[in-house]
């Protein structure tokens, strides 16, 4: 992949942080494949695809060209079709979404998508004449975004602390205990429950916690039995990250709503999508389900359609599975017996290391060594880092990633 033409940084990087006292990060002026290139010429191996976003790698000029080609059209109200919107919807329905998911609502990212799914669960139940249903069940631990609705439905102590008065009291179930799921549904009364939202494999809140097949079967059956809308939050796990098109496809988990963001735009554009089964969409008739001003931004849709086309052309979902297995083997070999590592878990290009030392210190120690890994953990998972590189990562880059992460963890653990 070509190195992108370096841009020139003119502003003061030290004054960039919104919150004073945030750690200093390098200024990125170009990129290539799995590398971010800094203003002083360092090549940082992007071991987490940014925020677990970059799947096709960096420097894909054809994505930029696709967006640039439609940008001069300007703004079109989201209810009106454009060639890019139609192309992206077609690509999703024909090549990505499971059968029966023919209705797609575009957003500008993960939080807008999950928040829309919460609203949608309510609208679905109201549309069916069940006005008493409003609760959306979430899981401990979980993360669904930074709107007040998505914060309320999640369980991520560090990101919720202080905001409690703003958050609706949505019920929570453990991530791994099917009996508790049934108990909470009964205690809360199914006649008050609109939806159930779950990350098929927990993202940054739990660093790849993976529930059993039995758990997902119980969740799916209970949702079906009570007509609770089952929402799969595939913002991290979707679009190939786990080695299948969607994370839920590893389990007997059958969602009614599939929520995506991050990898859908490959990291090049802010783009999200909420896809529903046709019968769910039917219940929304007359609900006035509202869009966002930038739902289906034309350039974002054009870029997203190109990202998905590249994924298919280069068989990158398959590569996430095969090269992800290489990554997984190396991580297990290096860290299974490491005294600072509690567990290595994950699949595809989506791995979490739960650790016995400060994750922020490890992230910074890795960055000093020109490697980026993603900080993770909340509640029962105190400290963790995530390893989730672009799917194009090579054998030698996997080697560099694992060796550098080892050096970083050793440096922090030995102190
Ligand atoms: C599972 C999950 N849902 C939702 C979100 C929110 O997405 P965004 O940050 O794009 O708003 C994230 C972000 O990390 C996520 O991991």
User: How high is the pLDDT of residue 261?
Assistant: 98
- 21 pLDDT band, cuts 50/70/90, is confident
User: How high is the pLDDT of residue 9?
Assistant: 76
Cβ–ligand 1 distance for 107 under 6 Å, the answer: no
Looking from the CA of residue 204, the nearest atom of ligand 1 is: 16
Residue 414 reports pLDDT greater than 90: no
Residue 348 reports pLDDT greater than 90: yes
User: How high is the pLDDT of residue 114?
Assistant: 98
User: How high is the pLDDT of residue 1?
Assistant: 77
CB neighbours of residue 114 within 10 Å: 32
- DSSP-derived secondary structure for 189-200: -GGGEEEEEE-S
Query: pLDDT tens for residues 54-83?
Result: 999 999 999 999 999 999 999 999 999 999
User: What's the mean pLDDT in 277-303?
Assistant: 96
CB neighbours of residue 144 within 10 Å: 32
Closest residue by Cα to atom 10, ligand 1, is: 110
For residues 84 and 2, which has the higher predicted lDDT (pLDDT)? 84
Cβ–ligand 1 distance for 235 under 6 Å, the answer: yes
Probe ligand 1: pick from 153, 203, 271, 292, max atoms within 8 Å of CB?
A: 203
User: How high is the pLDDT of residue 7?
Assistant: 77
Cβ–ligand 1 distance for 236 under 6 Å, the answer: yes
- DSSP-derived secondary structure for 254-302: --SEEEE-GGGGTTTS--EEEEE-HHHHHHTTTS--PPPTTTT-HHHHH
User: What's the mean pLDDT in 348-358?
Assistant: 98
Residue 187 reports pLDDT greater than 80: yes
Cβ 193 vs Cβ 227: under 8 Å: no
Query: pLDDT tens for residues 77-125?
Result: 999 999 999 999 999 999 999 999 999 999 999 999 999 999 999 999 9
Average pLDDT, the chain: 97
User: How high is the pLDDT of residue 11?
Assistant: 82
User: What's the mean pLDDT in 253-278?
Assistant: 98
Query: pLDDT tens for residues 121-177?
Result: 999 999 999 999 999 999 999 999 999 999 999 999 889 999 999 999 999 999 999
User: What's the mean pLDDT in 181-201?
Assistant: 98
Cβ 52 vs Cβ 385: under 8 Å: no
Cβ–ligand 1 distance for 108 under 6 Å, the answer: no
User: How high is the pLDDT of residue 10?
Assistant: 76
Rounded to the nearest angstrom, the distance between the alpha carbon of 143 and the centre of ligand 1 is 7
Q: In what order do the strands lie in the sheet with 350-355?
A: 341-347, 350-355, 381-387, 374-378
For residues 14 and 367, which has the higher predicted lDDT (pLDDT)? 367
User: How high is the pLDDT of residue 168?
Assistant: 97
- 40 pLDDT band, cuts 50/70/90, is very high
Residue 224 reports pLDDT greater than 90: yes
Residue 295 reports pLDDT greater than 90: yes
Q: In what order do the strands lie in the sheet with 371-372?
A: 28-32, 35-38, 43-46, 371-372
Rounded to the nearest angstrom, the distance between the alpha carbon of 168 and the centre of ligand 1 is 19
Residue 2 reports pLDDT greater than 80: no
Q: Which residues of 54-68 are buried (b: 16+ CB within 10 A; e: fewer)?
A: bbbbbbbeebbebbe
- Please name the fold of domain 64-313: 3.40.640
Domain coordinates in residue numbering, the chain: 13-56+315-414, 64-313
Q: Which CATH number fits domain 13-56+315-414: 3.40.1410.10, 3.30.230.70, 3.40.640.10, 3.90.1150.10?
A: 3.90.1150.10
Residue 13 reports pLDDT greater than 90: no
Residue 33 reports pLDDT greater than 90: yes
- Which residues, including other chains, have CB under 8 Å from residue 87's CB and lie 6 or more apart? 301, 302, 305
User: What's the mean pLDDT in 365-383?
Assistant: 96
């Amino acid at each position: 992949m070509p190195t992108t033409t370096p841009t020139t940084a003119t502003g003061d990087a030290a004054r960039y942080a919104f919150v004073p006292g945030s750690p200093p990060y390098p200024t990125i002026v170009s990129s290539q494949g799995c590398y971010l290139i800094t203003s002083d010429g360092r090549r940082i191996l992007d071991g987490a695809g940014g925020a677990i976003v970059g799947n096709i790698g960096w420097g894909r000029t054809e994505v930029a060209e696709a967006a640039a080609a439609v940008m001069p059209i300007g703004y079109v109200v989201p209810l009106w079709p454009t060639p890019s919107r139609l192309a992206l919807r077609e690509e999703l329905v024909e090549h990505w979404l499971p059968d029966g998911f023919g209705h797609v609502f575009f957003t500008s990212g993960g939080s807008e998508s999950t928040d829309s799914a919460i609203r949608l669960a309510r609208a679905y139940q109201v549309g069916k004449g069940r006005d008493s249903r409003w609760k959306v069940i979430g899981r401990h631990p979980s993360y669904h975004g930074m709107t007040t609705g998505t914060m309320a439905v999640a369980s991520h102590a560090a990101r919720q602390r202080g905001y409690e008065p703003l958050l609706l009291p949505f019920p929570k179930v453990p991530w791994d205990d099917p009996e508790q799921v049934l108990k909470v549904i009964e205690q809360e009364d199914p006649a008050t429950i609109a939806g159930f939202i779950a990350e098929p494999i927990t993202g940054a809140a739990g660093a790849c916690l993976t529930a059993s097949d039995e758990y997902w079967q119980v969740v799916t059956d209970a949702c079906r039995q009570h007509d609770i809308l089952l929402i799969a939050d595939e913002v991290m796990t979707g679009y190939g990250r786990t080695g299948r098109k969607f994370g839920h496809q590893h389990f007997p988990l059958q969602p009614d709503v599939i929520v995506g963001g991050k990898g859908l735009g490959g990291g090049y554009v802010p783009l999200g999508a909420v896809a529903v089964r046709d019968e769910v969409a039917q219940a929304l008739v007359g609900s006035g389900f509202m869009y966002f001003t930038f739902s289906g931004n034309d350039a974002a849709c054009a870029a997203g359609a190109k990202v998905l086309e590249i994924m298919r052309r280069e068989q990158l979902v398959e590569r996430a599975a095969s090269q992800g297995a290489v990554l997984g083997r190396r991580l297990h070999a290096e860290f299974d017996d490491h005294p600072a590592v509690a567990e290595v878990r994950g699949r595809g290009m989506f791995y979490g290391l739960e650790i016995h030392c400060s994750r922020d210190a490890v992230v910074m120690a890795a960055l000093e060594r020109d490697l980026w890994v993603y900080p993770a953990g909340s509640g029962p998972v105190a400290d963790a880092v995530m390893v989730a590189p672009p799917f194009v990562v090579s054998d030698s880059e996997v080697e560099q990633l694992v060796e550098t992460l080892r050096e970083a963890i050793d440096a922090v653990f030995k102190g």
